[in-house]
Structure 1
């Protein structure tokens, strides 16, 4: 967990128009950033278990205790897409495998939104992996503890990707789901989750047998499955409901191809 990485920075575009900042806000909401960094970006403790550990998201504002004043856009992009923080240190429990494929355009809009958001004075919470968390990490059960080890740091990031109902764009959106549903999207126990959390279901074609495209989109929008049952925590349907129709249709197309 003390391993360091050398990442070559990629120039990140900056955005100032209200339309681009709104898109950055939508990306923050729809990609689940608030689950760890809270709705206002000030950070929150999202795991507090004596065995697994205490894990908190950073304050992503310009307020006291926030990190934005101390990071360039390029450094923030490295943290988001590579799971690597200041001085090359690995970030603990940063799910960068979900965001590694984000385009420079999307990362730029996300960061520009964060810089435009209200400052919140809040000191960062603790990040202290517990004994069971360390053990599970060592035997490969919680690789997200150091996601930087799972990532190809030499990959060239796409500048942009046009939103279309296509397999390529669906795969791009599906990366958001890998943190809970696994890199193969076949479900199973969620990494680092407390034992009372239910396992994630398979969202491959086999796992979505009882869905059609329309009922899949309806379920994401409302949190209710086709049989009327409710999606319960930790399924972040409230965040995913911010996905556009194009994103959801492309996601459905991609999931049906697996």
Structure 2
């Protein structure tokens, strides 16, 4: 947690058109950024457990206590995709493994949207890993505690990717799911979650045998499974409901390839 990481910055495109800022907002909502940084970007404490720790998302606005005023777009991109802060120190519990493959264009639209939002004055919440959180990290059970340690910082990022109902694009979208469903997407206990949280579902082909493409999309949109049961917290179906039809159909296609 005190290690310093060296990540070479890459140029990040800037966007100002309303259509691009709207896409940046959709990315913020659909990728679950608000779960840790609040809907308006002010940041919040999302885990407060004496054993796991106290974990708070940063204020992502230009207000007092926010990070936008002293971070370049390139530095923000490193934080998002590499889990590394301005001083080279790892960001604790930043799920950059979900975003490490995000294209320069998508990251640029996301950052441009954040810079267009109102400034909110709010100081950084406490970030204090607890004894159990540290132990589980050392045991390899919560790699997201220091995602920078397991990310390839030499990765060459794609400039962009064309949305299409394809396995390739579905894999790109599925990276967002790995934080809870695991890198194999076969579910199990959620990293760093309190004991009362239910395990994540298996969303590989074997775990989705009761679904078709149509009711898979409908489930994400409505939060109701084909049998009528409701998906409960912490499944962020309201955020994922912001995914486009193309994204959801491509995601379904990709998940069907995971035996």
- What TM-score do you get using the length of structure 1 for normalisation? 1.00
Alignment-derived partner of residue 37 in structure 1: 37
**Counterpart position of 1:61:** 61
* Residue in 1 that maps onto 2:113: 113
Look up the SS of the partner of 1:11 in the other structure. Answer: coil
* Pairwise CA distance, 1:87: 1.4
Could you list the per-position Cα deviations for residues 94-141 of structure 1 after superposition, in whole angstroms to 9, with x for gaps in the alignment?
A: 000000000000000000000000111111100000011111111111
Q: 1:227 and 1:177 mapped to 2: Cα distance? A: 22
> Which residue does the alignment assign to 2:199?
199
Which stretches of structure 1, 4 residues or more, deviate above 2 A after TM superposition?
none
2:34 is aligned with 1:13: no
For residues 143 and 257 of structure 1, the distance between their equivalents in structure 2, rounded to whole angstroms, comes to 25
- 1:175 has 2:175 as partner: yes
- Unaligned ranges ≥5, structure 2: none
Task: Identify the residue that residue 145 of structure 1 maps to in structure 2.
Answer: 145
Distance 1:238 1:148 in 2: 28
1:209 paired with 2:209, answer yes
* Distance in 2 of aligned mates of 1:176 and 1:140: 20
Is residue 123 of structure 1 aligned with residue 123 of structure 2?
yes
How many aligned residue pairs are there?
A: 258
1:162 match: secondary structure: coil
Taking the aligned partners of 2:75 and 2:246, their CA distance within structure 1 comes to 30
For residue 185 of structure 1, what is the aligned residue in structure 2? 185
What is the CA-CA distance between 1:86 and the residue it aligns to? 1.2
Mapped to 1, the partners of 2:149 and 2:130 lie a distance apart of: 20
RMSD between aligned alpha carbons? 0.4
Separation in structure 2 between the aligned mates of residue 205 and residue 141 of structure 1, nearest angstrom: 24
3-state SS of the aligned residue for 1:206?
Answer: helix
TM-score, normalization: structure 2? 0.99
Q: Which residue of 2 aligns with 1:26?
A: 26
For 1:221-232, what aligned pairs fall within 5 Å after superposition? Answer: 221-232=221-232
Cα distance per residue 1:59-79 (max 9 Å; x no partner): 000001100001000000000
CA distance in 2: counterparts of 1:251 and 1:49, whole angstroms: 33
Unaligned 5+ residue runs, structure 1?
A: none
